[in-house]
Structure 1
Amino acid sequence: MFTQIVVNTCLVLVGVLTVLYLYIRRQFTYWERLGVPYVKPDSFLGNFGDSFTKKRPMSEILIEVYDKSSGKGFTGVWNFFSPTLFLANPEVLRDIMIKNFDAWTDRGLPSNPESDPLSQHVAALDGKMWKDVRTKLTPTFTSAKLKHMHYLLLECGKDLEKYLESLVSKNEAIEAREVSAKFTTDVIGSCAFGIQMNSLSDEDAAFRNMGKKMLNVTIGQRFAILVLLSSPWLFKKLKLSLTPRDVEEFFLRITREAFEYREKNNVQRHDFIDLLRNLKNVDQSLGEGETVFDDKLLTAQAFVFFGAGFETSSTTIGYALHELAVNQDMQDRLRKELHEMKAANKGEITWDGLQGMKYLDMIFQETLRKYPVVPQISRVSVKPYQLPGTNVVLPSGSRCIIPIYAFHHDPQFFPNPEIFDPKRFTDEAKAQRRPFTFIPFGGGPRNCIGSRFAEQQTKIGIVSAIDKFKLSLCEKSQNPIQYKKGAHFLHADIGVWIKVSRIGADNK
């Protein structure tokens, strides 16, 4: 009897392994069967396995695959054993992002509202629900609304100056990205939640700790990511989550409390929470299929605004400060532009004055070019799509990768791409640039909804750091910067270390 059980168990196991082997084998012959050129994967983990196993940074892998693909315009690759189209031509990119956007509306990001309510945010939503939420949120990021919030960002900028002043007296090197993360956490807290975060003055600030937890990938989350990339349907079936439970509970509570406080005290600040409150309170005549803006859906939007806003902007500020420390002439020129603008505006950094700082904008754009914080994005097709110039039709549900980092470092579009050169973003240079080669915020209808806010807080962070302080490299500095292996974002391996010193009154 026992022997029979063992035999039956072995037969079942062999059967399961055989089916799995045949499935994986079929996946890895997908592009060959379609007649699409492909880049042979390194292992069963696909073309990007070295990032998952932390052997190489994603930026290096993207460049390698891009170089093998650029002559063809696109190639087939594998994200684990999931066949994925890799785009390596701006025209194909334009076709997917603009011309045939209706075939590629989805991003393929995880959204399991039942098990992970904060995953139902505008960046991850698909279909009609994405359109409804995006339409409702868009008014937050108009120039008029951002101008209303300008004073809130300036207050955080002044706090950053005070914090840097306290560090100067200690004569210690600073990790620019961490300092910037504290600044952007305070900005998002003020503009989104109406709360003074005190991340710069309090080393144990709650929001800063939550931000760190959001980026700290656990073993369980790595498993969930593996399932998501290899079998998205299984990710949903198993009701997996990428949001730590304590982070979820924190944001649900803090958003609910913000709603209740403002309702009770009739407080209005013209910020993100006010917009969400209006969506919650408006008397909607809901028809079939209309989106219901309940507390969890609204909190998800505040959550992604915080997560995406503090992380991407703080990393960009850190890299910008690094390049200004490397290039003293650029730092001096930018500081001169800032002081001239302030002199023309009674010593203040006004909204209009900030918009008029052309050299600051060139520094900002070149930082995004050289250091795109999100090195790649993805799209998922919702209908069959014919590959340009071929008879190959990809089925609905196909995935594609848009390698932002590789486009930004293609010498065909940006000569000597490893050189930091703000002149790439003069008006004349931008007019001559080939479209869809500079895409730090994506492109088309699914571009980053908060890009203008990100630009505003990043620029204020940069000018607040150089107004009264000189930035320079130190013993801890790494130049050129090496990237962290296995990171989803373009993070520096050992951080961005610089020295900050006070500028004498005679130098101002």
Structure 2
Amino acid sequence: MIGIYLLIGAVTLLYVYLKWTFSYWDRKGFPSTGVSIPFGGLKSVTQGKRSFGMAIYDLYQSTKEPVVGIYLTLRPALLIRDAQLAHDMLVKDFASFHDRGVYVDEENDPMSASLFQMEGASWKALRNKLTPSFTSGKLKAMFETSDSVGDKLIASMKAQLPQSGSKELELKKLMATYAIDIIATTIFGLDIDSFADPNNEFQVISRKVNRRNFEDIVRGASSFLYPGLEKFFVRIGWKQEATERMRELSNRTVDLREQNNIVRKDLLQLLLQLRNQGKISTDDSVWTAESTKNGVKSMSKDLIAGQLFLFYIAGYETTASTTSFTLYELTQNPEVMEKAKEDVRNALEKHGGKLTYDAISDMKYLEACVLETARKYPALPLLNRVCTQDYPVPDSKLVIKKGTPVIISLIGMHRDAEYFPDPLSYQPERYLEDNKNFNQAAYMPFGEGPRMCIGARMGKVNVKIAIAKVLSNFDLEIRKEKREIEFGINGVPLMPKEGVPVRLSLKK
């Protein structure tokens, strides 16, 4: 009998707790979306029907409220649908939303202290120190390395095509291989060829990063939704294999450079400058990284590994997706493809037939194509922040309390007809100087404000290299019927459900 009473009591307490939790936004006076207890707005994710980013997109489409309360399982958050408000939060009102609110533990887990995860003064200090790494001069110095990887991509594609006729290739996997090699060479300074050796160390790490077993799902969810739980997992010694392998690779490479005084023009070399000299040189011709006389290291090897892991994860998936999606859209829009090919051809002729950094910079229409792809297919479909001080919502009586998670659905805004006319239509002309007919506050595929993606320019250069080389070497077959790409259900980045198929042939 006592057991029955205890069971009834436990059920009653659980019911009261859930009712209290899922009435949070009602008590705060905010409008809210419907919920499915105990999943909140993420039932489709737990059922394996939608990815996290697309579940947030569904919530975006379910309401017209400019600010709406949602539930990330048991955690209340705010979804910002008003583009100008979202832009102001990231730029003008950055002081109230300067952190992401994800897992970071600088003291006990230095590898978690990446530029993406760090908070407050620590983030600001590191951001300022890393900014000189991505100047035009630095990118120009690294261009030759990226260009050589592009040549390997073209050689691999040619080897798969018949001498006459066309063949369908799955571009997403090809471009992922290209992107991994770009990261390995321009960031780590390691000369690898994943087209020839698909089981090299970087490919192994990539497969572990993209693995979606139970452990990876739990750790990914805890890092984003419940940072305190992730901190507990780390403290008890639950290590992630991909992170540990990246730490080992990074430390080994740092030791090799420092012990043998090796100098290369890559991002690791600039991090070694910061480690040994306390700053990255603003002189784009200086790449040496000798220690100062006192020998004090201003950056630990684990902190370096954390930044390299961030640039690896953020760089390769973004480059692979944006490149393959752009080429796919060109096959569905023949007029756009012809303009892109002409743009590439004219830039190459201007620079003596050689693909250089300046030639890539002169490809303005191709740049517009990349920007339009980033709108329609933002690699990271959402932005997240946490309110760092109470914030009165403009033109309302609502106040966002300190500690509240804030979500901005990029794919929601980018595919909203209110902000972008005919949003599913692929129109690079949107970004030409005399034709910007969209709400520019709504366009932020690389983030916005002080926490905008620090490597966005580098990423666009690498995407344009691949596209320019493909258009110069192959004829892409126009699709007879347009078909929108369906997205997969795993992870946060936008991933194609069934790859990105494009039929092409050797250029005659």
So what's the TM-score if we normalise by structure 2?
0.89
Residue 352 of structure 1: how far off its partner (Å): 1.5
> Does the Cα contact within 8 Å between 1:56 and 1:485 map onto a contact in 2?
yes
Give the residue type in structure 2 aligned to 1:293. Answer: M
Q: Residues 347 and 359 of structure 2 are in contact (CA less than 8 Å); yes or no, is this contact kept in structure 1?
A: yes
TM-superposed deviation, 1:63: 4.1
Among 341, 354, 358, the residue aligned to 1:348:
354
Q: Quick check: 1:328 aligned with 2:334? A: yes
Write out per-residue CA displacement over residues 305-339 of structure 1, whole angstroms, 9 at most, x where no aligned residue: 11110111111111011111222332232222212
Q: Say whether residues 1:106 and 2:99 are aligned partners.
A: yes
Matches of 1:146 and 1:229, distance apart in 2? 32
User: C-alpha distance in 1, partners of 2:156/2:218?
Assistant: 39
Amino acid at match of 1:195: L
2:413 aligns with 407
Per the alignment, residue 52 of structure 1 pairs with 46
CA distance, structure 1, for counterparts of residue 210 and residue 415 of structure 2? 26
- Helix, strand or coil for the counterpart of 2:396? coil
Amino acid at match of 2:143: H
Given that 2:84 and 2:442 are in contact with CA atoms closer than 8 Å, whether structure 1 keeps it comes out as: no
Judged with a 3 Å threshold, the aligned counterparts in structure 2 of structure 1 residues 165 and 455 are, in CA distance, closer, same or farther, namely: same
- Relative to structure 1, is the Cα distance of residues 49 and 241 closer, same or farther in structure 2, using a 3 angstrom cutoff? farther
Provide the residue aligned with 1:187 in structure 2.
182
8 A contact 1:221–1:241 mirrored in 2: no
| CA distance in structure 1 between the partners assigned to 2:267 and 2:261 by the alignment | 16
Match of 1:357 among 351, 359, 363: 363
- Whole-angstrom distance in 2 between the partners of 1:438 and 1:237: 37
Q: Which moved more, 1:121-130 or 1:43-52?
A: 43-52
Paired residue secondary structure (2:385): strand
Partner of 2:59: 65
3-state SS, counterpart of residue 436 of structure 1: helix
C-alpha deviation, 1:209, in angstroms? 2.2
d(CA) in 2 for partners of 1:167 and 1:344?
31
Q: Does structure 2 retain, via aligned residues, the 8 Å contact 1:103–1:382?
A: yes
Task: String of CA shifts for 1:26-69, please: whole Å, max 9, x gaps.
Answer: 22111101111111123421113212322235565444422343
Amino acid at match of 2:197: D
- For residue 257 of structure 1, report the CA deviation from its aligned partner: 2.3
In 1, the alpha carbon distance for the partners of 2:278 and 2:58 equals: 53
C-alpha displacement of 1:343: 1.6
In structure 1, what is the Cα distance between the partners aligned to 2:379 and 2:446? 10
In the other structure, the counterpart of 2:282 is none
Q: CA deviation at 1:12?
A: 6.9
Task: Say whether the 8 Å CA contact 2:52–2:491 is kept in structure 1.
Answer: yes
What is the alpha-carbon distance in structure 1 between the residues aligned to residue 237 and residue 98 of structure 2?
A: 22
- Alpha-carbon spacing, 1:102–1:272, altered in 2? closer, same or farther (3 Å): same
Partner amino acid for 2:150? G
Q: Which deviates more from structure 2 when the two are superposed, residues 224-233 or residues 310-319?
A: 224-233
Secondary structure of 2:435's aligned partner = helix
**Alpha-carbon distance in structure 2 between the residues aligned to 1:268 and 1:14:** 69
Which residue of the partner structure matches residue 28 of structure 2? 34
Shift of 1:395: 2.1
For residues 239 and 323 of structure 2, the distance between their equivalents in structure 1, rounded to whole angstroms, comes to 27
8 Å CA contact retained: 1:39, 1:77: yes
Contact 1:59 1:406 in 2 (8 A): no
Mapping of residues 24-423 of structure 1, within 5 Å: 24-58=18-52, 61-70=55-64, 72-113=65-106, 117-169=110-162, 172-228=167-223, 231-239=226-234, 245-282=240-277, 293-423=299-429
Q: For 1:499, what is the secondary structure of its paired residue?
A: strand
Which amino acid letter does the alignment assign opposite residue 435 of structure 2? A
Is the contact made by 2:49 and 2:489 (CA closer than 8 Å) also made in structure 1? yes
1:287 corresponds to which residue? none
**In structure 1, distance between residues paired with 2:13 and 2:431:** 54
Q: Percent identity?
A: 27
Q: Counterpart amino acid of 1:499?
A: R
Distance 1:283 1:190, change over 3 A: closer
| Structure 1 counterpart of 2:315, one-letter code | G
Structure 2: gaps (5+ residues): 280-296
Question: Could you tell me whether the CA contact under 8 Å between 2:87 and 2:442 is conserved in 1?
Answer: no
CA distance in 2, matches of 1:460, 1:244: 37
Matched residue, 2:495: 491
Return the offset for 1:119: 2.2
Deviation per residue, 1:180-221 (Å, 9 max, x gap) = 011111111111111012112222222122112112222022
Tell me the equivalent position of 2:286: none
1: CA distance between counterparts of 2:235 and 2:51?
26
1:480 counterpart = 2:484: yes
Q: Compared with structure 1, are the counterparts of its residues 348 and 283 closer, same or farther at alpha carbon in structure 2 (3 Å cutoff)?
A: closer
Indicate how the Cα distance of structure 1 residues 207 and 228 shifts in structure 2: closer, same or farther if over 3 A, else same.
closer
The amino acid that maps onto 2:504 is: V
SS at match of 2:493: coil
Cα RMSD (Å): 2.6
CA distance in 2: counterparts of 1:384 and 1:197, whole angstroms: 49
Q: For the residues of structure 1 that align with 2:265 and 2:15, how far apart are their CA atoms?
A: 57
Name the structure 2 match of 1:448.
Answer: 453
For residue 75 of structure 1, report the CA deviation from its aligned partner. Answer: 0.8
Task: Classify 1:20/1:144 alpha carbon distance in 2 versus 1 (closer, same or farther; 3 Å).
Answer: farther
Q: CA separation of 1:395/1:11 partners in 2, compared to 1, >3 Å: closer, same or farther?
A: farther
AA of the residue aligned to 1:34: K
- Which consecutive unaligned segments of at least 5 residues does structure 1 have? 285-290
Asked if the contact 1:51–1:57 (Cα under 8 Å) also holds between the matched residues in 2, the reply is yes
Aligned positions, number? 489
Cα offset, 1:172, TM superposition:
4.4
Structure 2 counterpart of 1:46, one-letter code: G
Deviation digits for residues 57-111 of structure 1 (CA, Å, limit 9, x no counterpart): 55654444223433x3111111112111110111211221122211111112222
Q: What secondary structure, in the 3-state scheme, does the structure 2 residue paired with 1:83 have?
A: strand
- SS in structure 1 opposite 2:255? helix
